[in-house]
């Protein structure tokens, strides 16, 4: 099953002589549970692609489907709803609310969606614990390191249990050690928690954590490479899948 | 040179036979996936070291099966090892296979349009990402409590592959400019002996 696909996706900003074609005829297909890195020079359209995939902006032409539901022409209110339930976003600068604690930040999307705060925070705390922050639930962002803040942001992206995570340069503001941790964690989000993850990065070391790398240039897909997971890892995954089929 | 000297060092640690030496070397570098030496290489190296007077045979070990010759380091071998430790290792970055492949692809140009420099870059990038992916997985699977030296070896490999990928990125970004420049031409010298100048 493919979670995310685009067909002939084109985005032109502005019009007339100042028009910029940020994306031109991009057709990609991402399988459920895949971890995809998107790379390419500055201005090649990576963020634009994520915005289109996440329904944050409308394509000029072409289609985007999330879990086989076309979203390009969807009315605003339905799109907002789909975005809230199916898609989690992670940004370079974390975008946490400074006056809220880690657990309040992580719970925010479902609190806004009407889940009772106690229940929402319980869910958020579970995700934070999975990411090694069980003892920092009540810290405010300014009391956390950059890597920890990004983990809170990833917990927040997952709290509504979306099937798709979109991350725009999630390690862009971190040193190499924290970057590795975040990349490893996103790989876990894809493999262990079975979410589709699409991540924009400039860092080759971070891209190497993915299952697949898509290279953009001037708004077009120019190359693509699939990275084999090691044989032992895939054997374990296969064993888990086979076990999972029994119950 | 490096395998030879590493073996010398392991023999200085204590005398060993070839089989044990090979096992010790591979353990030291973190397994044969990192650096494999074939038995034949061990035995030719031992023969050369012996010929050069850097090691001597010091008896045999005979349990079951064929006798195993045990080697020990001579004072000359010890001096050689000291010199190795005292000298820096040359960075070998000029004779780059990818560079030469790229230059040949530029030279062939439209003779082989299907495998131009762009294709060379892409194939290389794909290969390097595959390596980086594998190295990263190995590194993250290594136990920092018992395999720290191996982790550092893997870190070095990772950083090198990363540098190669960044270099490819530069190359790709400037490829059109590179293609526009004339290829370096050999200076053609007349063959044979230079003619005597007559004045
Ligand atoms: N809202 C906008 N209005 C006009 N032009 C835009 C807008 N957003 C992006 N662009 C243009 O679209 C192109 C692609 O931008 P985008 O932000 O997707 O690039 P990017 O690959 O994410 O770059 P970077 O690596 O620097 O983040 C650029 O030329 C940019 O100037
Ligand atoms: Mg961007």
Q: What is the pLDDT of residues A111-146, one digit of tens each?
A: 988 999 999 999 999 999 999 999 999 999 999 999
Containing domain of residue A107, as a range?
2-246
Q: Is the pLDDT of residue A226 over 70?
A: yes
Q: Residue A42: CB within 6 Å of ligand 1?
A: yes
DSSP three-state, residue A63: strand
Please give the pLDDT value at position B165. Answer: 94
Average pLDDT along chain B: 87
Please give the pLDDT value at position A244. Answer: 45
Please give the pLDDT value at position B6. Answer: 93
| Joined tokens for residue B27 | 């353990």
**Residues of A in Cβ contact (< 8 Å) with B136:** 205, 208-209
Query: What whole-number percentage of chain B has pLDDT above 90?
Result: 47
Residue of A38, A179, A204 to mutate, testing the B interface (most B Cβ within 10 Å of its Cβ): A204
Residue of B129, B170, B174 to mutate, testing the A interface (most A Cβ within 10 Å of its Cβ): B129
User: Count of domains in chain A?
Assistant: 1
Mean pLDDT of A189-215: 96
Residues with Cβ within 8 Å of residue A163, at least 6 apart in sequence: A3, A32, A67, A86, A195, A196
Residues with Cβ within 8 Å of residue A152, at least 6 apart in sequence: A94, A96, A102, A105, A106, A128, A133, A141, A144
- Which residue among B138, B158, B173 sits closest to A41, beta carbon to beta carbon? B173
Please give the pLDDT value at position B14. Answer: 93
Average pLDDT along chain A: 90
B102-139: pLDDT as tens digits:
888 888 877 777 778 888 899 999 999 999 999 999 99
**What CA–CA distance (Å, rounded) separates A68 from B12?**
67
Q: Which of A85, A22, A75, A77 is nearest to A51 (CA)?
A: A22
The DSSP 8-state label assigned to residue A159 in this structure reads: T
Please give the pLDDT value at position A43. Answer: 95
Q: Is the pLDDT of residue B97 over 70?
A: yes
Please give the pLDDT value at position B153. Answer: 87
Please give the pLDDT value at position B23. Answer: 94
**Residues of B in Cβ contact (< 8 Å) with A230:** 134, 137-138
Q: Is the pLDDT of residue A88 over 90?
A: yes
User: Domain holding A195: CATH number?
Assistant: 3.40.50.300
B152-198: pLDDT as tens digits:
888 999 999 999 999 999 999 999 898 888 888 888 777 766 666 65
Q: Where are the beta strands (DSSP E) in chain A?
A: 2-13, 20-31, 35-39, 61-66, 69-70, 87-90, 164-168, 196-200, 212-217, 220-226
Cβ within 8 Å, pair B166-A204 = yes
pTM: 0.83
Cβ within 8 Å, pair B132-A204 = yes
Q: Is the pLDDT of residue B46 over 70?
A: yes
Q: Residue A60: CB within 6 Å of ligand 1?
A: no
Q: How confident is the model at residue A224 (pLDDT cuts 50, 70, 90)?
A: very high
A32-68: pLDDT as tens digits:
999 999 999 999 999 999 999 999 999 999 999 998 8
Q: Is the pLDDT of residue A96 over 50?
A: yes
Distances (CA, A) of A63 to A7, A9, B34: 5, 6, 46
CA distance B46 to chain A (A): 36
CA angle B76, B81, B87 (to 5 degrees): 130
Please give the pLDDT value at position A1. Answer: 54
Please give the pLDDT value at position A243. Answer: 47
Q: Is the pLDDT of residue A5 over 80?
A: yes
Q: Is the pLDDT of residue B79 over 90?
A: yes
**What CA–CA distance (Å, rounded) separates A42 from A60?**
21
């Amino acid at each position: 099953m493919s979670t995310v696909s685009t067909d002939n996706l084109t985005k032109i900003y502005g019009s007339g002589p100042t028009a910029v074609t940020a994306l031109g005829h991009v057709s990609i297909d991402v399988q459920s549970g895949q971890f995809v890195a998107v790379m390419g020079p500055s201005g090649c359209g990576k963020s634009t692609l994520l915005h289109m995939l996440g329904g944050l902006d409308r394509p000029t032409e072409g289609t985007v489907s999330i879990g086989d539901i076309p979203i390009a022409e969807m009315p605003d209110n339905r799109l907002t709803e789909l975005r809230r339930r199916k898609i989690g976003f992670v940004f370079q600068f974390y975008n946490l609310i400074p006056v809220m604690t880690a657990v309040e930040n992580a719970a925010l999307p479902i609190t806004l969606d009407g889940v009772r705060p106690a229940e929402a925070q319980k869910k958020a705390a579970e995700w934070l614990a999975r990411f090694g922050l069980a003892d920092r639930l009540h810290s405010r962002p300014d009391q956390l390191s950059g890597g920890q803040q990004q983990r809170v942001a990833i917990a927040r992206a997952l709290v509504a249990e979306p099937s798709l995570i979109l991350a725009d340069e999630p390690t862009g503001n971190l040193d190499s050690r924290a970057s590795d941790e975040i990349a490893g964690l996103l790989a876990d989000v894809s493999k262990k928690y079975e979410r589709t993850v699409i991540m924009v990065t400039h860092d080759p070391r971070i891209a190497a954590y993915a299952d697949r790398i898509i290279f953009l240039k001037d708004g077009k897909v120019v190359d693509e490479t699939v990275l084999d997971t090691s044989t032992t890892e895939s054997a374990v995954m296969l064993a888990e899948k086979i076990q999972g089929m029994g119950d | 040179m490096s395998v030879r000297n590493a073996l010398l060092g392991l023999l200085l640690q204590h005398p060993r036979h070839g089989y044990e030496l090979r096992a010790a070397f591979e353990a030291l570098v973190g397994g044969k996936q990192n650096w494999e030496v074939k038995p034949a290489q061990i035995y030719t190296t031992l023969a050369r070291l012996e010929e050069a007077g850097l090691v001597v045979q010091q008896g045999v070990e005979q349990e079951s099966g064929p006798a195993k010759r045990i080697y020990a380091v001579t004072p000359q071998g010890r001096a050689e090892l000291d010199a190795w430790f005292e000298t820096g290792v040359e960075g070998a970055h000029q004779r780059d296979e990818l560079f030469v492949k790229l230059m040949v692809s530029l030279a062939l140009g439209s003779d082989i349009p299907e495998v131009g420099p762009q294709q060379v870059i892409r194939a290389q990038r794909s290969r390097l990402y595959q390596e980086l992916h594998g190295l990263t997985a190995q590194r993250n699977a290594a136990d920092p409590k018992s395999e720290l030296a191996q982790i550092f070896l893997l870190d070095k490999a990772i950083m090198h592959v990363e540098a190669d990928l960044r270099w490819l990125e530069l190359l790709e970004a400037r490829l059109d400019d590179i293609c526009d420049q004339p290829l370096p031409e050999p200076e053609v010298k007349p063959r044979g002996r230079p003619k005597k100048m007559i004045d």
